[in-house]
Structure 1
């Protein structure tokens, strides 16, 4: 081994590798004006993302442009303030939405896709349809996954997808939802996958692909992970802590090779 000392790297190198707030400097006992203003702007953008109105008709139009049927539903949260104060209401469909889904009378499917506003409608507006555009071709092919109706849900928490999936008779549900905004990413989208959805499941029974946005995980990279988890989850008949994401290491098994329960 060489005894030569490793040259010190300036902290400015770290700033080029991360959007995190490092090496901000100081002015007396406080931050310099520029990073302080940048922090204030990022905080305002995060708050705006949480309170932004959800453009469900716009999302529906984008989904239908991809050739998929779509239905709008709502949770039991009556407004945004209600949604933020009562997370439990965002996990349950309102009575009219539940009845409307049941009255669709569509056949059970392998995969239901739910798009929910979550804590960042901005993330859904920016990324949900574009992610679907990358995902759908990966679910097609010789071993195609049958995608049922897409449901667009307002006032949604992740677990709302469980009730929707159960009503639609889906073997698996993928919930695309706006994640809690951060100070560097107010528009981050998450995808949550649950096999055999039904009310009462916990997050331990889901897989999550998160941080989907322009400066994070790309649409193509996220679609590869989601498609792998969908196919492997259907083959193994499980999601959550029992299903590790190995999409970078091997191809998923064919769904038809699943061992019956």
Structure 2
């Protein structure tokens, strides 16, 4: 990581806690990060990208992860740290993280999340995941390619991947006061109220309440909503999804109607 990317809060600025934003891909990550920049004076660009090729970390080494975040505690860090890693990557360092950082985990309806990811994967010029499939088939396809850098083990389907990402992070957020779950739909539909909830979590008040552009800094923004027929999932697939995640979907009050 280029040390020049790091920015710190100056003495004459309101001091905010260090922030780590975590999500499954295409869950509104940059919408939340840009909201933190607009309203709490964090730096969302450049963010610190906790990912392959961006930081010199062996992500399968508990010690390497600990060393990275220990180094970050030496800064009055203004940059948002961004990660798409499941909870299992952080579990053994959770005490360190929750002592020195506030963790915001943003989640989104799985159909919207995976639909956006499906389109991204088909557009990019590398094998990020299963390509060339209908949306219905994509949901049920096993993960492959570059997206597996966020895996500890293989999973049966892309939907399982969403389920095993969101569920454990929400469980931690329900038990640990240094971790907050942010519902994408609430940030989108009740922006001001949600920002004040985030402010209470950060133990600081927003400097402004200015809604950012949701697509700012997003790779290949998902703005095409034309061919809704292409997003359909079969009745059999709906049953498959409910069998896997019915408990979590009910907990989050997410139905599986195509939206």
Q: Same fold (TM over 0.5)?
A: no
In the superposition, the TM-score normalised over structure 2's length comes to 0.29
For the pair shown, which has the larger CA radius of gyration, 1 or 2? 1
In the superposition, the TM-score normalised over structure 1's length comes to 0.29
By relative contact order (CA 8 Å, sep 6+), the higher-ranking structure is 2
